[in-house]
Amino acid sequence: MSSKLNVKDIIAGHFGTLIDAGKKSVSYTDIFSFYILPAIVSATGIFFCFNISKEMASLLVNFGAIFTALLLSVLVLVYDQENKIDQSIDESLKKVKKSLLSHLYYNICYCIIISIFLVVICLLHAVVEAFSPFTNIYFITPLIIITAVNLILTILMIVKRMHVLLVT
């Protein structure tokens, strides 16, 4: 893969943000919330043979596309906040805010990648539906569910972190 398309550092950086702040160790609660819970929701969908409709796939494509654009704007805000932090006086607060900005950067970039992935798999869902509904029910729809739930939870985490950053 071209180094220009390789996003593994962003994904690894995002996983690095899923830590307990005080302990600097992996947060198993975060792992459960962001990855295992979406998989459980997806497995439930498989159990009930759930398949998303074309309208739902279209809605998710719009959701992914809109959030990609919005998250790119938020990246600009994060960059601007980093410049403002350099002007602050308190060194301990500066260190905490820079760490939070670094986490936000990885989380936002990860969300953009996941949003793009959501759009692609929803488009794939529409193409495969005509040829193999079985594939959609047992593979593509569960992947869409996992991706959408993970994306929504990660966006909530970003909103919470932005709130903490801007309020303190």
pLDDT digits 0-9 by tens, 11-55? 999 999 998 877 778 899 999 999 999 999 999 998 988 888 889
**Which pLDDT band, with edges at 50, 70 and 90, does 166 fall under?**
confident
Could you tell me which residue, 84 or 69, shows the higher pLDDT? 69
More confident residue, 26 or 83: 26
| 68 part of a folded domain | yes
How far does Cα 41 stand from its chain's mean position? 17
Structure tokens at 112: 């953009």
At 25, which helix (H) or strand (E)? strand 25-26
In a domain, residue 76? The reply is: yes
Higher pLDDT, 1 or 7: 7
Provide, rounded to the nearest whole percent, the portion of the chain with pLDDT above 90.
51
The answer on pLDDT for 1 being more than 90 is no
Per-residue pLDDT at 133 exceeds 70: yes
Instruction: Identify the residue with better confidence: 136 or 111.
Output: 111
Task: Give yes or no for residue 86 having a pLDDT over 70.
Answer: no
What integer pLDDT is reported at residue 40 of this predicted model?
96
**What whole-number distance in Å separates Cα of residue 6 and Cα of residue 55?**
32
- Give me 3's structure tokens: 């180094």
Return d(Cα 163, Cα 130) in angstroms, integer. 44
Question: How far from 77 is each of 37, 84, 106, 115, 129, CA to CA, in Å?
Answer: 30, 11, 14, 19, 40
Report H helices in 19-90.
28-31, 37-47, 54-85
What is the number of structural domains in the chain? Answer: 1
- DSSP, collapsed to helix, strand or coil, labels residue 20 as strand
What is the residue type of 1? M
Q: Tokens for 103?
A: 């986490």
Q: Does 1 reside within a domain?
A: no
Computed over every residue of the chain, the mean pLDDT equals 88
Q: Give the separation between CA 99 and CA 108, rounded to whole angstroms.
A: 14
Evaluate whether residue 82 is within a structural domain: yes
Q: Residue 1 burial by CB count (10 A; 0-12/13-18/19+): exposed, middle or buried?
A: exposed
Reply yes or no on whether the pLDDT at 89 is more than 70.
no
Task: Say whether pLDDT at 98 is over 90.
Answer: no
Give a yes or no: residue 58 inside a domain.
Answer: yes
Residue 85 lies in a domain: yes
* Domain membership flag for residue 4: no
Q: Residue 87: what pLDDT?
A: 67
Residue 85 has pLDDT above 90, yes or no: no
Domain range for residue 83?
A: 9-18+25-47+54-167
The answer to whether residue 29 is domain-embedded is: yes
Dihedral (Cα; 100, 105, 108, 110), 10-degree rounding: -110
